[in-house]
C-alpha cells in the first residue's frame, strides 16, 4: 500500500430512506491515516447509515465512496463482495451467528475468500485456521473456542466480533456503536482492542460512538455529525463546548 493513497474517500454522500426526507445530506471526508477515527453525534443523525453505506449494507442515494481504487456505490455482485471482504464490520449487538461455535464465528470472516462449494464443505485452509486461533488468543478467548457463541457474555461476544472482522484481513474497520451495550470497563477494553488492531495492521477504524469522553480518549480524529452533515472534523483536543452544543443541541447536559 503506497503512503500517498487514501484509505477512504467520501464525496457528497446522500441517503434518503423516504423520498424528500434525507438522513445524510451531503457528507464529505477523507481518511488518509490509520488509527481510530470516532464519529460522534446524537442518535438518529445518520451515523449508522453512514457506516452501512460504506460497505453497502445500505444503498446510498447519491455520492461517491472511493475505497481500494473503486467506487463502492457503483459496485455490484462479485466486485461488491470483493470490496466488502476488505471492510471489517463490528456491530453494536455483536451479530454473531449464535448457534455456531466461537471459532466457527471467527472463521466466517474468511467466507469472502471462499467459493460457496468450499464454504459448504467447511474447507478452510490450515493457514486460516491457525490465524483464527491466533486471533482468539489475541482477544483472550482461546479457552472458549468450542463454546457456542450465545453462551458468551456481551464483552466476550464483542471480542469475537472484532476477531471476525480482523479475520477478513481488512483495509478498514467499521464499528457501529461497538461499546454501547457494554459496561464502562468492558467498553474501554473493547476500545483498546480496536486501537491495538488498528495500530498493528496499520489500518483506520471508523468507530461510531455517543460517549464523547471515550471518543476523546481513544481517537486520533473526531468527526462530529449533526442533522445529516459533518459539523466538526479534526483533532479530539479541538472539540469545544460550542461544538458539542452544535452537535447535540441544548446545553443543560454539558459539564
- The Cα-based distances of 98 to 39, 46, 148 in angstroms read 29, 28, 7
* Residue 206 near residue 230 (C-beta atoms within 8 A): no
Residue 39's beta-bridge partner residues? Answer: 208, 223
Q: Is 164 in the site for other proteins (CB under 8 A)?
A: yes
The span of 1-9, 65-73, 87-95, 195-203 binding other proteins (CB under 8 A) equals 87-95
179: exposed, middle or buried (C-beta count within 10 Å: 0-12, 13-18, 19+)? buried
Smallest gap from Cβ 77 to other proteins, in A, equals 10
Instruction: Give me the residue label for grid cell 457456542.
Output: 148
For other proteins, the binding residue among 168, 179, 208, 226 (CB under 8 A) is 168
Q: Is 71 in the site for other proteins (CB under 8 A)?
A: no
Please identify, using beta-carbon distances, which residue of 85 and 159 lies nearer to other proteins: 85
Q: Is 37 in the site for other proteins (CB under 8 A)?
A: no
Q: Is 216 in the site for other proteins (CB under 8 A)?
A: no
Q: Is 115 in the site for other proteins (CB under 8 A)?
A: yes
Smallest gap from Cβ 4 to other proteins, in A, equals 26
How would you label 34-66 residue by residue, b for 16+ Cβ within 10 Å and e otherwise? bbbbbbbbeeebbbbbbbbbbbbebebbebebb
Enumerate binding residues for other proteins (CB under 8 A): 55, 57, 81-87, 89, 91, 93, 95-100, 108-116, 119-120, 161, 164, 168
Amino acid at each position: 500500500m503506497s503512503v500517498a493513497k487514501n484509505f477512504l474517500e467520501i464525496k457528497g454522500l446522500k441517503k434518503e430512506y423516504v423520498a424528500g426526507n434525507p438522513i445524510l445530506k451531503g457528507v464529505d471526508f477523507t481518511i488518509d491515516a490509520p488509527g481510530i477515527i470516532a464519529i460522534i453525534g446524537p442518535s438518529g443523525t445518520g451515523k449508522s447509515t453512514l457506516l452501512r453505506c460504506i460497505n453497502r449494507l445500505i444503498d446510498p442515494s447519491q455520492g461517491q465512496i472511493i475505497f481500494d481504487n473503486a467506487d463502492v456505490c457503483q459496485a455490484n455482485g462479485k466486485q461488491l463482495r470483493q470490496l466488502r471482504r476488505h471492510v471489517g464490520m463490528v456491530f453494536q449487538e455483536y451479530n454473531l451467528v449464535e448457534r455456531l461455535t466461537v471459532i466457527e464465528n471467527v472463521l466466517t470472516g474468511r467466507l469472502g475468500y471462499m467459493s460457496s462449494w468450499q464454504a459448504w464443505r467447511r474447507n478452510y485452509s490450515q493457514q486460516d485456521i491457525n490465524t483464527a486461533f491466533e486471533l482468539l488468543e489475541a482477544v483472550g478467548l482461546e479457552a472458549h473456542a468450542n463454546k457456542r457463541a450465545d453462551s458468551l457474555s456481551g464483552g466476550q461476544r464483542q471480542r469475537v466480533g472484532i476477531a471476525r472482522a480482523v479475520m477478513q484481513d481488512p483495509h478498514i474497520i467499521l464499528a457501529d456503536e461497538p461499546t454501547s451495550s457494554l459496561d464502562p470497563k468492558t467498553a474501554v477494553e473493547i476500545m483498546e482492542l480496536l486501537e491495538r488492531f488498528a495500530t498493528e495492521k496499520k489500518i483506520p477504524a471508523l468507530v461510531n460512538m455517543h460517549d464523547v469522553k471515550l471518543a476523546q480518549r481513544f481517537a486520533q480524529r473526531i468527526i462530529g455529525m449533526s442533522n445529516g452533515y459533518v459539523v466538526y472534523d479534526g483533532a479530539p483536543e479541538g472539540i469545544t463546548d460550542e461544538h458539542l452544543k452544535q452537535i447535540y443541541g441544548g446545553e443543560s447536559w454539558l459539564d
